[in-house]
Amino acid sequence: PGPGSTVRARFSATSTDLVDVRQTNRLTVEELLIVAPARDCLFKAGVQTVAWGQADRIQVVDVVHPLDLTEWYFANWERKRLPLGMLNLDCSFADNGLQLLVIPQTRFNRRPSSLGRFAVPQAENALAAVGVPLSHGSDPSAMRVKDWSYGAQWSGRLGSFDYALYGHRGWETDRVVRQDGDGTFSLAPDRTSMVGASFSVPAGSLVFRGEAALRRDVTYYPDDTGGMPVATQADERAVLLAVDYIAAPWFVSTQYFGARAVRMVDGTLGRDQRVWTIAVRRSALQNRLTLGFYAAKERNGPSHFLSIEAEYEIDPHWLLRLTSERYGGEEGGIGRFKGESRYMAQLRYAF
């Protein structure tokens, strides 16, 4: 790297057993990039992750990355985002900021094996079950500029009012099953776009914040197609309103999230989701110990999620995290099954 530039690298090794059909070992490049300052800008080139918005474990404007769906709906988003190779220019101008993303690499959501214990049926599996052949289209290539994705964020401040505007043009994070004109079915990637905004306003110990997004050409599979998984395009409108209470050592937050998908073909409502969440965190032992509680309830369904977490900083290098998570409700709500539970012990070393 040139003068003032640095190289950052972060890797993770994962081994799972009795989750899919066999033991799975994976070495993941979480971060591998060059960071170069240039006047009021910071240029990052390489494998990295970009987080948009401040929503807690809910996706509104944070659409840059595909997700690891072997994790839970409300799992830690630092683990869920799949890193991408990209060019990231981040500039600051007084109280304003501009971020530009050029993303040659395309990845899709990581899902449990279709043959494993925790498989979730996909549209292509439904076709295979009834003997319907499925052709496969070509995936986007980093070697073709027309296949690249792009993103932009403008942020600013008006008095105590912080705001940000977002735009993204990329690919659906799952390949899409479509019925072709000759009656055959194909599985191929499809384009999608998003425009959104976020804000936050402090008022004493309270912070009021919100996010809104419009996603165009979102694909979902309606229930009125005679049992055949035929994709339908829709415009999805999502909004999140939240209030945070911050008074050390306490942090309390509640969020309301709503999303609706309106079919592009006839303007009818295709999907409606509403969720309330509450999070409570308390620090102790000179901020070395953090206790956390997170709960989510689907307002128009029976699904609910609960997480309890303890995090302890043993020393500047070692971190211990214990987590208990539980989901109940229905399949296809805010969880994959009617009931799930998970217990985790994590030990992290940083150097």
Cα torsion 169, 166, 263, 172 to 10°: value is 40
Q: Is 0.75 surpassed by the pTM of this model?
A: yes
Task: Please check whether residue 141 is in contact with residue 147, taking contact to mean a CB–CB distance below 8 angstroms.
Answer: yes
Paired residues of 226 in beta bridges? none
CB atoms < 10 A from the CB of 182, how many?
A: 5
pLDDT tens per residue across all 351 residues of the chain: 567 899 999 988 887 776 666 677 788 899 999 999 988 999 999 999 999 999 999 999 999 999 988 777 777 777 789 999 999 999 999 889 999 999 999 999 988 776 666 666 677 777 776 777 788 889 999 999 999 999 999 999 999 999 999 999 999 998 888 777 777 888 889 999 999 999 999 999 999 999 999 999 888 776 545 556 667 788 899 999 999 999 999 999 999 999 988 876 565 666 788 999 999 999 999 999 999 999 999 988 888 999 999 999 999 999 999 999 998 887 766 777 778 888 889 888 877
- The confidence score (pLDDT) of residue 200 equals 97
Q: Could you tell me which residues come within 8 angstroms of residue 251 by beta carbon, excluding any fewer than 6 positions away?
A: 244, 245, 279, 280, 281, 282
